Copies of this chain bind each other. A is one copy, B any other.
Amino acid sequence: MQYGDVFDMKTIGISIKIGDARAATLAKELIGWLKEQQREVCVDASLRDCCSEPCIDINAMAGHVNLMLVLGGDGTLLGVSRSFIGSDVPILGVNLGRLGFLTEAPVDNMFEAVSTILDGGGSIVRHFSLAAEVWRDGIKLGGGQAINDVVLQRNRHPRMIEFEMRVSGQFVFRVRADGLVLATPAGSTAYALSAGGPIVHQELDAILVAPVCPHTLSNRPIVLPSGDKITLRLTEVPAPAALNLDGQMHLELMQGDEIRIARSGTVSLAYLPGRNYFEVLRSKLHWTGRTDDNNAC
């Protein structure tokens, strides 16, 4: 999707990895550079103490900015992105570490990358999110959203938990396992991959369900249409279990609890021109083959 003619990028929001001194320094340089170009800048709490720009709550930010810049790693980007679910504001990650799956712009290239996006270059990929709710005795206890994954897992106890899964009302299985990963395509290359799941292409409308260390060996990962409603019921939980959203938000779970997961709104991540999904995969997963490589072993 091209967005150059859609957005007039007057106001730019900036957030950084909390407590990261290098990110703060870079952010200040970026703010100066943006203001030279007559852009307005606002920041969230992560930069409150570092600069004099207006500080806006991250959850309200989407209503104030035309472009959001995030300096950090994939984790920082996930945290900011969850506040932009349902908004069309593009988010550009400037990667302070190594190549990320989601953070697109290398820091060495920060000004050029931001410039490209401000000029309407690059492209946007809409990543859908998952919404999860925890219900106990018919009462909704809490919930949240995730860009990568919703992970049910045992906690503080060495024995497996047991739970049932239903998909759009149909019983799928009762399984004993360490847990279960429900991942978006973006999340399929994160924790779900370690749990044995496949790579789900970022443009496929699908939810990946991957049991973690299932007791029954034939309980393989399942890829479902993203419109399916997934319900988990905890049938045996020797000690409190947890529901983790993007590995960042946590809900405590007890035996009998019901978890409802469904597709939720999208976030719009900005990518630079020439970005190649498969090249990122090859690099992150150390696939050795290249077209011109005669020694692919």
Residues of chain A having any CB pair with chain B under 8 Å: 97-98, 151, 153, 155-156, 158-160, 162, 164, 167, 170-178, 191, 193-201, 203-204, 206, 208, 210, 212-225, 228, 242, 244, 247-248, 250, 276-279, 281-282, 285-291, 293, 295-297
Contacts and interface: CB of A to CB of B under 8 A. Distances in A.
Nearest to A295: B98
A223 to B, nearest CB: 5
Contacts of A203: 225
A197 B289 CA distance: 21
Among the interface residues A98, A156, A201, which one has the most CB atoms of the partner chain B within 10 A?
A: A201
B287 A218 contact: yes
Given A158-B250, A204-B223, A296-B175, A170 B277 contact: yes
Contacts of A291: 164, 171, 174
Given A208-B198, A223-B223, A247 B216 contact: no
A171 to B, nearest CB: 6
A151 B155 contact: no
A137 to B, nearest CB: 19
A158 B153 contact: yes
A289 B285 CA distance: 14
Contacts of A210: 198
B178 A194 contact: yes
6 contacts: A172-B281, A178-B194, A198-B208, A199-B221, A201-B225, A204-B224
A195 B217 contact: no
A285 B217 contact: yes
Contact of A224 (B173, B194, B201, B279): B201
B218 A285 contact: yes
A289 B177 CA distance: 12
Contacts of A282: 172-173
Contact of A217 (B177, B213, B218): B218
Contacts of A247: 158-159
A117 to B, nearest CB: 22
A91 to B, nearest CB: 22
Contact of A174 (B153, B225, B290): B290
A281 B97 CA distance: 27
Among the interface residues A153, A164, A223, A293, which one has the most CB atoms of the partner chain B within 10 A?
A: A223
Given A153-B158, A193-B217, A217-B217, A289 B164 contact: yes
